[in-house]
Structure 1
Amino acid sequence: MGKQEKPLQVVCKQVDLPWHNDDWRSLSLEEQQEQLEIFLEADRVQGFVLDKAPLMRFSLIKIADDIYEFVWSFHHLLIDGWSWPILCKEVFAFYNTLLQGKYLYLNTPRPYRDYINWLQQQDLKAAEIFWQQQLHGFTNPTRLLLNRGETQIVPQPKTYHEQQCCLSATMTAALQSQAQQYHLTLSIFVLAAWAILLSRYTDESEVLFGATVSGRPPTLSGVESMVGLFINTLPVRLKIPTAKPLWQWLRQLQTQQVERSQYSWCPLVEIQAISEIPPELPLFESIVVFENYPHDTSLSNPGGSIQIIKRRVIEQTNYPLTVIAVPGQELSLRILYDGSRFDGETINRMMGHLVTLLEGMVTNIEQTVAEISMLTATEQRQIVVWNDTQTDYPHKCIAQLFEEQVEQTPDAVAVSFQSQQLTYQQLNSQANKLAHHLQKLGVKPEVRVGICVERSLSMVIGLLAILKAGGAYVPLDPRSPQERLTYMLSDSQASVLLTDSSITLSGQPLTLVCLDTSGFCQNSQENPVSGLIPENLAYVMYTSGSTGKPKGVAMSHRSLVNLLYWQMDENTSNFAKTLQFASISFDVSFQEIFSTWCNGGSLVLITEKVQKDGFALLQLIAQEKVERLFLPFVALQQLAHAASITQCYPASLRQIMTAGEQLHITPVLVNFF
């Protein structure tokens, strides 16, 4: 159809119904069930061609002498859920009459074209204004980021699956009682529960999803017996007021639903066209269907020789997620989902959360929306297990852990930089000499010592020496503005500054120690005694100051030793050669350096030039046979990009940790791993 053309329904006077008979009596019960599932899947895949009548077909499969599987497949364009019981009732009436050798005359129902005429009389302009106001300011659909389709490089074919669950009869009765007491409908509870679930899954306070309405206008007489497609799917935009009592919010939702109902006939395609969501995106990715149409119990036992012992409805929508609620003695919940986007485990967990939300609403409708729990009992027990993390870590400080490693691996390489390297014993000796010098300058526990040096062996010797002397290091980036450095030295109350002769810090009222010229080589090589305890400070690092002045973050030895032991327990790569990538003014540098030294590994320092060049970094990693990396996402992406161009993938790498930025799974990253 062209852009200006409208869909047209053609009603044929007569068509040949596709009818298929089969006999599976020779198969075992297990084989019959297996064959039925194969048949149903093939039937779903077959679909319908919209311009080929009729949009329905039938299969009658004999599985025992007097038992049949009857499969009726039809496109939703023909009829809705309200219509099919009307049709079935008429079919069974004709069948029973024919068995008696008689002929049945039924009253002619009101034709579907009367509904079409009613639609054409509605004020489309007023409806468009209403829906435009409803959706104003909403520019992106509510998307669940847990779907696996986001990470797939090659799009997977859609496959539809279903999971089902029922609220207990007791819980359903309690839900119905709450609805009656507060003059609410059951559908409002289901809509609210789904809105809360979407909000918590997406961390958005406002969500947008679809809801199916019966579409049968009460002003059209005889509409309840008409056969055809009346249902419509409408956008539901809800803001989740976390502090509001649940019952108040539910009443508000019901009022909004009544307001929407006067324009519920408006075609969804028209609503999407006037929304602010880009046309290439769906208006929403999930819909809620509440099947509250009249249910005729006589269909289960239509009389005569026919008895329907099991009815199964298999539906398929073009949305990734469809939630179907069917009221009854037990409220039935079904989730239809696109298997290329979600796995069964995810949907099972989602179903548990939906049920828990509904049960929570029943338990206390007076509570605020934020207080309604979504976690199942199993998940709550799991959280208790996960948080049972008490561990008896040694009552030690960082320098002690390093010194213990020196005793174990004195001749192993502790650090290398370009053509230079130091063993654990050599590093310990040089750090001890500087530490004794610092103690002579008054460095002791809780005394802050600034360190502002270029990347070098002197940098890591200085860090270790400050800790050995008992002080807390304050790392400073030599490339930071003079004003920032001055502020951090003043705010931290540093009394000593380690630097080198290439760096100038003017007008600082503190003791300077130039690591490349100061004469402290004659000091003792023995481990100094500092009187440190785990509660003393290890370092003070400053934030970027992007929201104002930089703020100092002070960390104790106890906290950092806890972190180191956790990382060593989790690390499967003992004695790993680790790249020291981060600036020492970032906290990850502490993990790079000391998780390596306290585990017998070797630290590889790099120049700032190599740090910023993905190709040079890749070459260094390969040459040095680096096994472990701590990288922010941007640097990891640059490294992977360089590898994809050079087709060089370092075989030595065993562990990569990335943090500090949102991780994106890009094609080059997938290939890198």
Structure 2
Amino acid sequence: LQSVVDRHDILRTAVLWENLPQPLQVVQRRAPLRVEEVVLTRSPGDDTTALLLEACPASMDIRLAPMLDVTITQDTRDADGDRWLMALRSHHLTRDHQALEILLDEVRAHLEHEEGRLAEPAPYRDFVAYSRLAVSAEQHRAYFERVLGEVEEPTAPYGVMDTHGDGSGAGETVVELAAEVAERLRAQTRRHGVSAAAFFHLAWARVAAATTGQTHPVFGTVLLGRMDAGGTAHRTPGLYINTLPIRIDATQALDQGLGVVQAQLGELLRHEHAPLALAQQATSLP
């Protein structure tokens, strides 16, 4: 894991802001991995994994690189005493899901003594430069002022505005689509010549409209960020994803609406690295 950290500049990154005109990502030449060994007190029936996660620090100081750390413990359930458990924490400022896959794949290559097959690491700063320079701030601003300039109130379901808290009161339900429904959806995307994303965005716009009373709700959509970020983005860890607002007319008929939403998503892709704050400032909200 330390060898992977040594390879990639984004994994040796800290974020500094004190006494600076703006926050900066600073890459350290050397970033020793922090490893803490803990001894867990178990009772019969206890979940060792849950206990290990509870033993991890509650927060992470992003002024220190690397923004990942390791907590290990000897598994007392193992009769031979040679089994260990490890919890790896990494801050979302330095990775998205694909970055985690890259990190684990490179660790596996080192464990199997195949690190020679790994490509020369590409500097994350190349992506930073591209994301800041490919499309100017003025172009981003003009786009979001055009699509969001008329927004005068938040899209708040049931009018609930006070949503501050630690999230402990929120619940989550995951429902898997039946295979038959998924295949019907694929068939419809082919028939209409659009992506499944167009279907889901239009459907969610109707949900947002029904719960807010707005005909043109605004909600966030997540962009992968790696599709147009250079030829090495697929193998370079780092935070590429971005969340940006999209405004959809929920009153559109299905045939017309799918094409319009598909075009909106395509246009938004050109601005996928725009700062969310810039998009928020383009609205007419106070």
TM-score interval, normalised by the smaller of the two chains: 0.7 to 0.9
Aligned position for 2:155: 142
Residue 205 of structure 2 aligns with which residue? 195
Q: Find the residue that maps to 1:211 and give its secondary structure.
A: strand
Deviation of the 1:118 alpha carbon: 1.3
User: What is residue 187 of structure 2 aligned with on the other side?
Assistant: 177
Offset, 1:204: 1.5
- Indicate the residue corresponding to 2:94 in structure 1: 78
Could you tell me which residue of structure 1 aligns to residue 258 of structure 2?
A: 250
After TM superposition, give the deviation of residue 156 of structure 1 in Å: 5.4
Distance 1:55 1:125 in 2: 32
1:67-121 Cα offsets, whole Å, 9 max, x none, are 6654222211101112111111110111122xxxx86462213211111121232
Task: Tell me what 2:9 maps to.
Answer: none
What amino acid is aligned across from residue 56 of structure 1 in structure 2? L
CA distance in 1, matches of 2:19, 2:202: 37
TM-aligned CA deviation for residue 53 of structure 1: 2.1
Q: Give the counterpart letter for 2:220 in structure 1.
A: G
Separation in structure 2 between the aligned mates of residue 90 and residue 220 of structure 1, nearest angstrom: 20
- Distance in 1 between the 2:284 and 2:66 partners? 38
1:111-163 alpha-carbon deviations (Å, 9 max, x no partner):
1111112123232211211111110110121112275957xxxx755436543
**Selected match of 2:196 from 186, 189, 201:** 186
Question: Displacement of 1:178 after TM fit?
Answer: 2.1
| Contact 1:25 1:63 (C-alpha < 8 Å) held by counterparts | no
Q: 2:214 aligns with which of 199, 204, 208?
A: 204
The answer as to whether partners of 1:48 and 1:55 remain within 8 angstroms in 2 is: yes
- Seen in structure 2, the aligned counterparts of structure 1 residues 239 and 54 have a Cα distance that, compared at 3 Å, is same
| 2:177 corresponds to 1:167 | yes
Aligned residues with identical type, % of pairs: 24
Q: Tell me how far apart the structure 2 counterparts of residues 103 and 259 of structure 1 sit (CA, whole Å).
A: 40
Q: Match for residue 267 of structure 1?
A: 275
Partner of 1:15: 31
**TM-score, L = length of structure 1:** 0.36
Query: Is contact 1:188-1:250 (8 Å) kept?
Result: yes
Q: Is the 8 A contact 1:55 1:75 kept in 2?
A: yes
- What's the CA shift string for 1:392-419, capped at 9, x where partnerless? xxxxxxxxxxxxxxxxxxxxxxxxxxxx
Cα distance, 1:232 vs. partner? 1.1
Deviations 1:272-324 (A, max 9, x none): 2232222xxxxxxxxxxxxxxxxxxxxxxxxxxxxxxxxxxxxxxxxxxxxxx
1:309-348 equivalences under 5 Å are: none
Cα 1:103/1:109, change in 2 over 3 Å? closer
Closer/same/farther in 2, CA of residues 51 and 86 from structure 1, 3 Å limit: same
Aligned to 1:31: 46
Distance 2:180 2:41 in 1: 41
Which of 142, 151, 163 is residue 129 of structure 1 equivalent to? 142
What is the rounded CA distance, in whole Å, between the counterparts of 1:22 and 1:172 in structure 2? 45
- For residue 164 of structure 1, give the secondary structure of its aligned residue in structure 2: coil
Letter in 2 for 1:106: L
Q: Secondary structure at the match of 1:269?
A: helix
SS in 2 for 1:84: helix
1:137 counterpart letter in structure 2: E
Residue 22 of structure 2 aligns with which residue?
Answer: 6
- Structure 1 residue 233, shift from structure 2 partner: 1.0
Q: Tell me what 1:232 maps to.
A: 242
- Contact 2:149–2:282 (CA under 8 A) maintained in structure 1: no
Instruction: State the distance in 1 between where 2:56 and 2:206 align.
Output: 36
Q: Give me the whole-angstrom Cα distance separating, in 2, the residues matched to 1:41 and 1:203.
A: 42
Corresponding residue for 2:69?
A: 57
The aligned runs of 1:555-594 (5 Å cut-off) are: none
Secondary structure, counterpart of 1:16 in structure 2:
coil
- In the superposition, relative to structure 1, how do residues 187 and 27 fare at CA in structure 2: closer, same or farther (>3 Å)? farther
Indicate how the Cα distance of structure 1 residues 179 and 23 shifts in structure 2: closer, same or farther if over 3 A, else same: farther
Whether the 8 Å contact between 2:56 and 2:71 is mirrored in structure 1 is no
1:48 maps to which of 34, 37, 60: 60
Query: How far did 1:177 drift?
Result: 2.6
TM-score, normalized by length of structure 2? 0.80
Shift of 1:211: 0.7
Q: Judging changes above 3 Å, is the alpha-carbon distance between structure 1 residues 3 and 240 closer, same or farther for their aligned structure 2 residues?
A: farther
Amino acid in the other structure paired with 1:274: A
Counterpart residue number, 2:120: 108
State the distance in 2 between where 1:63 and 1:83 align. 32
Give distance in 2, aligned partners of 1:71 and 1:137. 47
- Give the drift of 1:2: 8.8
For residues 39 and 258 of structure 2, what CA distance do their matches in structure 1 show? 52
Note the residue ranges of structure 2 that are not aligned, 5 or more in a row: 1-16
Distance 1:189 1:230 in 2: 24
> What secondary structure, in the 3-state scheme, does the structure 2 residue paired with 1:275 have?
coil
What aligned pairs does 1:214-233 form with structure 2 within 5 A after superposition? Answer: 214-218=224-228, 220-233=230-243
* Partners of 1:63 and 1:69 within 8 A in 2: no
Which deviations, in whole Å up to 9, do the C-alpha atoms of 1:586-635 show, x marking residues without a partner? Answer: xxxxxxxxxxxxxxxxxxxxxxxxxxxxxxxxxxxxxxxxxxxxxxxxxx
Greater C-alpha radius of gyration: 1
Relative contact order higher in (CA < 8 Å, ≥ 6 apart): 2
CA distance in 1, matches of 2:144, 2:76: 51
Q: Alpha carbon RMSD of aligned pairs, Å?
A: 3.0
- Distance change >3 Å, CA 162–CA 21, structure 1 → 2: farther
